[in-house]
Amino acid sequence: METQIVTLNIRGLGNHNKRNLCFEWLKQNKFEIILLQEVHCNNVTKCKWKDEWGGPCVFSGNSSQKEGVAILINPKSDIKIENEIELQIGRVLGVEIELNDKLLTIINIYGPNKDDITTFKLLEQALLEHDEKTYIIGGDFNTVLNSNLDKKNGNANYHNKCRELIHEIISTNNLIDVWRIKHPEKKQYTWHSNQTPFVHCRLDYFLVSENILNILKSCVIKPGFKTDHSMVSLTLDNLQGEKGPGYFKLNNSILLDAEYQTKIKQSITEIITLNNTANPNTKWELIKGAIRNESIKYSSFKKKLNLKNEN
């Protein structure tokens, strides 16, 4: 089975008709976990909207005019919220859930629309204090990760401080930009301005712990709902299905095998040649994947060879 997580900047849920239509649309599409930004909620509306949603959910915000984030669980899903984490009111909200005996920390973030690193500093501190957890961080970061690939027109140096800190968070906590890993050189955006010339940016994305890379089935950008942002959908595979064969463990003895060393060097050379123009982070992820695949294949070959010799 699959678990689908989506993130969307909804640009306000204060209007009763829009909110009802939005909730119905989210349920009909059978998204299990939904991260919404700019919901514009306050202490009065939170309780009312929870009842209207009809399933497990968490809201954070103190204004009916700006900011506000929410995490919704589909009422028909058996996913339960084990714990709630509010790092910054209206900006950073998290929940801990359990999927097939695996504890995941889901964080919804709405980044500032100016180059203010406060929000990301709070996120960084929380991740450093709990580096043992497995994270899925999604939302509207309001900052592109790569000015060449993720932005068209406009100021290339926009939000430099935020971008540098996000890259530092990614590196320190072994996170990956899922959409970029799945689409290394593709240019697709989640928001565009109304000014001329149009400015296009990929502001909405997921950052995920590397240790669940093997169960990330897909990550795609889709049309949003009554908003100027596109939705990003992340699909996880095998979290609720049957247990697989477990983790691959490398037999260290093959590191001294000359044939294995040659194959690994060839794999690295091929990846670099085929992805010569890719950014360093993307190259590194592709190289690690190639090394892992080659190691599994070679280990299997050696095991069969040893068995044959024994027989």
Each residue's pLDDT tens digit, 194-246 = 888 899 999 999 999 998 988 899 999 999 999 999 999 999 986 544 444 44
Q: Which residues contact 143 (CB under 8 A, 6 or more apart)?
A: 111, 159, 162, 163, 166, 203
- Is the domain of 37 the same as that of 92? yes
Pairing of strands 231-237, 135-140: unpaired
Looking at residue 4, what is its pLDDT?
A: 96
Range with the poorest average pLDDT among 26-40, 104-118, 224-238, 282-296: 282-296
Give backbone dihedrals phi and psi of 47, rounded to 5 degrees, phi first: -65, -40
Question: What letter would DSSP give residue 11?
Answer: S
Q: What is the mean pLDDT of residues 101-115?
A: 94
Q: What is the mean pLDDT of residues 178-183?
A: 95
Query: What residues make up the domain containing 28?
Result: 2-237
Query: Which amino acid is present at 15?
Result: N
Tokens coding 135: 């994270």
Looking at residue 197, what is its pLDDT?
A: 84
Domain boundary among 173, 208, 237: 237
Query: How many other CB atoms are there within 10 angstroms of residue 206's CB atom?
Result: 23
Look at the chain and report how many structural domains it folds into: 2
Helix, strand, coil % over all residues of the chain, rounded to 5: 35, 25, 35
Higher pLDDT, 140 or 273: 140
Q: Is residue 115 part of a domain?
A: yes
- Is the domain of 192 the same as that of 302? no
- Is the domain of 98 the same as that of 148? yes
Q: Is residue 247 part of a domain?
A: no
| Mean pLDDT over each residue of the chain, to the nearest integer | 91
Looking at residue 245, what is its pLDDT?
A: 46
- Is the domain of 180 the same as that of 263? no
- Is the domain of 91 the same as that of 162? yes
C-alpha to C-alpha distance for 76 and 96, rounded to whole angstroms: 18
- Is the domain of 170 the same as that of 267? no
What CATH number is associated with residue 199? 3.60.10.10
Integer angstrom CA distances of residue 136 from 63, 133, 207: 26, 10, 6
Q: Is residue 245 part of a domain?
A: no
- Is the domain of 161 the same as that of 257? no
Higher pLDDT, 196 or 152: 152
- Is the domain of 155 the same as that of 187? yes
pLDDT digits (tens, 9 = 90+) for 43-100: 999 999 999 999 999 999 999 999 999 999 999 999 999 999 999 999 999 999 998 7
C-alpha to C-alpha distance for 36 and 15, rounded to whole angstroms: 15
Q: What is the mean pLDDT of residues 114-138?
A: 95
Range with the poorest average pLDDT among 18-22, 48-52, 125-129, 285-289: 285-289
- Is the domain of 110 the same as that of 10? yes
- Is the domain of 52 the same as that of 158? yes
- Is the domain of 179 the same as that of 273? no
